[in-house]
Structure 1
Amino acid sequence: MASHPERNDARKGKKRGPPPRFPRRPDTGNDEWIWGWHAVEAALANPRRGAPLRLLATPEKACQIEARFGRLPALETADNGLISQNLPQNAVHQGVALRPAPLDEVDVASFEPRKGAVLLMLDQVTDPQNVGAILRSAAAFGASGVILQDRNAPRFTGALAKAAAGALEQIPVARVVNLSRTLEELADLGWRAVGLTGAGERDLAEVLDGAPTVLVLGSEGEGMRRLVAEHCDELARIPMPGGFESLNVSAAAAVALYEAARPRI
């Protein structure tokens, strides 16, 4: 027999009322979110993404979003606490969080090997903060794109998007299965590969000649893997007269991109 919602509770001598109302449960897959104003704004403006799946914003940020993009069906007004519940702990969301549609995949064959063009290839660089910072530098210095290994790279959301500050939406990123085979494919298309390592015999400035170039950077600590290094046309070093043996990979990428962006005679 069905129970009546107002039946007596013998344990407390009180009547049971209707169940309490709770706010909408937060999503459990919080690695799928993008947060922070610049990252979210860039994702919403990116025509390569579809309609957002869910968008949380404080009233102030919701007004800014509607002023820029019009009324979006996915937009929900929420306070800072509810936004934080959907994100990793200590995420600095600035009053806005987005579950975006995925980015379209990029094929390496779409990178045009024109004079002065530069690609970045990251060999097992797994820290999202580093990858995000590298994307930001790639956008700043006009790189044609970034290539990551599919199984040894972070997802395109969360801390990575926040660190990239919108560059994730500007720089084409290709995920590939095998970096060595990809370097062979790029060589056939007219690209030259330069691996960055402290063991390089020449400085990077001496190696760069304005030809379309893939700059290959390895993870901190281990550097490039042997097989990837063997598929580079040349290995070069970043000179460091101050005596340090190495740079953080995102700093090394910024220095290398700056050097590659300098005009070559």
Structure 2
Amino acid sequence: MKNSIIAILSVIMLAACEGKKQVYTEPEEDKEAKSDLQGIWVDADESSVVFRISGDTIYYPDSASVPVKFIICRDTMVLQGANVYKYIITRRDHDSFDFKNYNGDIVKLVRSTNSYDSLQFVRRAEVSLNQRKVIKRDTVVARGDVKYHCYVQVNPTTYKVFKTSYNDEGLAVENIYYDNTIHISIFKSGVKIYSRDFAKKDFADKVPPEFLSQSILSDMNLKNVGDEGFCYTAELAVPDSYISFIVEVTVTDKGKVSMQVRN
């Protein structure tokens, strides 16, 4: 009788345990660590760019590599792409980031201090380069019952831009190009509400100085007109290359200007 009672109690306890199976939950994300990792990271030994962290996404300099979402959980970096990959973090501070790869090797990264590294993430496409010619555009747009005339004029200058290249013998060769200024005017029902000449230096806080020194303000085009204002795309291009910065310039009805680099 005693043995029967013990057996029944064992079955009841086993059933109770099975009914309370623990469900695995991912550790809470360390948002402070993610915030501190924002920026470009380079190989500590070779100084080559490895990736850029922006928001909750990792971007690679290789355009063929797809950006991937990531989170930091305790001492682990979790990449959430088509598959989930986890890397143990061995060291992390504001300027250093070390973790183990799948071979068990320690990958040592340091935060980039070279603004030129950002060029590896700039879109690469055929670059239009306006040289020593005047270009005029007059676009009529409507917002409700009001018509606007948006004028753009690209004006050549005598300001020289030097770009250094190397010949087959390894000797430096300097090529000379000429920069532009671009005039924008906006008229509302025939009344001028905005007028300004843009030069390359106006974009100094949006692009790295190393890039700016070798680039030309090539063109500005009216992209669209919306509630925020008149949006233009300014192209700063490096001659004889596939590299350019596209900066969106928005002008409000009040004449206020804001800029942001387009990814």
Q: Shorter-chain TM-score category?
A: under 0.3
Higher relative contact order (CA 8 A, sep 6+): 1
TM-score, structure 1 as length reference? 0.26
